[in-house]
Amino acid sequence: MIELTDVSKVYPGGVTALDSVNLTIPDGEIHGIVGRSGAGKSTLIRCLTGLDPATSGSISVDGVDLGQARGGALMKARRSIGMVFQHHNLLDSRTAEKNISHPLEIAGVPAKERKRRVEELLELVGLTDRRRNHPSQLSGGQRQRVGIARALAAEPRVLLCDEPTSALDSGTTRQILELIRRLRDRLGITVIIITHEMSVVREICDSVSLLSEGRIERSGALLDVIQDTGSPLSKELISLPPTAALRPGDTLVEALMAESSQLADVGQLFSLLSSHGLDARVEAGTIETIQGRQVGRLHIKPTTRAEAEQIAAMLRDHGIHAELTTGAEVEAERAAHEEDDARAEQQEENQ
Ligand SMILES: Nc1ncnc2c1ncn2[C@@H]1O[C@H](COP(=O)(O)OP(=O)(O)OP(=O)(O)O)[C@@H](O)[C@H]1O
């Protein structure tokens, strides 16, 4: 179990990057940490790995407090966390197998044991036939597999993944996420994934936390967080595509259909509206299957505000969360997203 208790980090100069963070991640869970640029994600990683200690509070892994442990106990605790990076950080001069064996060499593991372990790891990540290739001879996905195998070399209990798929295309991303899930199932490790990609969270995470200005704003099981419609994280996880030609003063009904909804699909919903003589059209909609359940968000545009209120009330009666929003609010949200994406892209280019 990973436990952060009142973790704060204040940099010299006075920037509070983490502000009383409390977080518990049970064994074997895949936990996503999301947040906008500057929210404190990198700082949290550095504190978790012990590279940059927290200013106050405690971080413990399997009951060992990283701030209190010394000598061999600290080394052991640090080794219990394996790191996977966005850009793999592989050594170009070494083959895949030599990259994987590198941390074992540093730890002084005898050659015979190293060979056995590397063999096992190559098999685990599906790269046995690429063992003698250098990073430049591997695809982005294969390089990330080497990075994952290397992170697992010291048999960590926790895999800490920093934007593990941000540099990969969507097909390769899916394969890497599938691999991470298989490794969790097979090895029983706990996985923390720091990402700005909501699709990664939807696809693989059991639970998720939203970090905002150094604080955990919302944390919980994925489906619970999505169904907590008041939470900004819910809107980010099931986001809507841009809506064409909305005027600032337009009134929209935003509906979230989740597990508790009595209406299973959009078709039924619209039959219901028309049976009540309500004229409305869907401006935008997203339906995702998450952990085997369908979750959908819709923007419905009625003709008048009075109709919008009527529709929202009717949806609520059928267990569908519905609230009114305006064209101006939708536009402001879209602009904030675009700004964040542009910043993430810029950072990617700078690296
Ligand atoms: N070494 C440092 N010294 C002073 N301030 C820092 C330092 N590192 C980060 N900060 C500040 O701490 C805050 C959190 O930064 P951090 O890099 O952890 O955010 P982030 O969520 O990882 O952002 P991004 O997604 O853009 O990488 C920011 O205000 C940042 O300017």
Instruction: Based on the fold, state whether residues 70 and 170 are members of the same structural domain.
Output: yes
Q: Amino acid identity, residue 79?
A: R
Domain of residue 267, residue span: 239-336
Nearest protein Cα to ligand 1, atom 2: 11
If you measure from the C-alpha of residue 214 to the centroid of ligand 1, how many angstroms do you get, rounded to a whole number? 9
Residues 270, 300: one domain? yes
Q: Is the CB of 14 under 6 A from ligand 1?
A: no
The domain boundary, picked from 227, 257, 289, lies at 227
Residue 20 shares a structural domain with residue 100: yes
State how many domains the chain has. Answer: 2
Residue 10 in contact with ligand 1 by CB distance below 6 A: no
Q: What integer best gives the mean pLDDT of the chain?
A: 89
| 326 burial via Cβ count (<10 Å: 0-12, 13-18, 19+) | middle
Domain end: 207, 227, 247, which one? 227
CA 210-287-231 angle, 5° bins: 25
Residues 245 and 162 in one domain: no
Q: Is 17 in the pocket of ligand 1 (CB under 6 A)?
A: yes
In a shared domain, residues 72 and 181: yes
For ligand 1, is residue 157 a contact (CB within 6 Å)? no
ipTM > 0.90?
Answer: yes
Report whether residue 86 contacts ligand 1, using a CB cutoff of 6 Å. Answer: no
Please work out whether the CB of residue 39 comes within 6 Å of at least one atom of ligand 1. Answer: yes
pLDDT in tens, 297-337: 889 999 889 999 999 998 888 888 899 999 898 888 888 77
pLDDT score, position 131: 95
- In CATH, what number is assigned to the domain containing residue 258? 3.30.70.260
* Same-domain check for residues 110 and 257: no
**Are residues 214 and 83 both part of a single domain?**
yes
Question: Alpha helix locations (H) across the chain?
Answer: 41-49, 71-79, 96-106, 111-124, 140-152, 170-187, 198-204, 222-227, 232-237, 266-275, 305-317, 327-350
Nearest ligand 1 atom to alpha carbon 46: 18
| Same domain as 330, residue 246 | yes
102/163 same-domain check: yes
Smallest CA separation from ligand 1 atom 31, residue: 38
Query: Residue 51 belongs to a domain with what CATH number?
Result: 3.40.50.300
Domain boundary among 173, 204, 227: 227
In this predicted model, what pLDDT tens digit does every residue of 57-84 receive, in sequence order?
A: 999 988 888 888 888 888 888 888 999 9
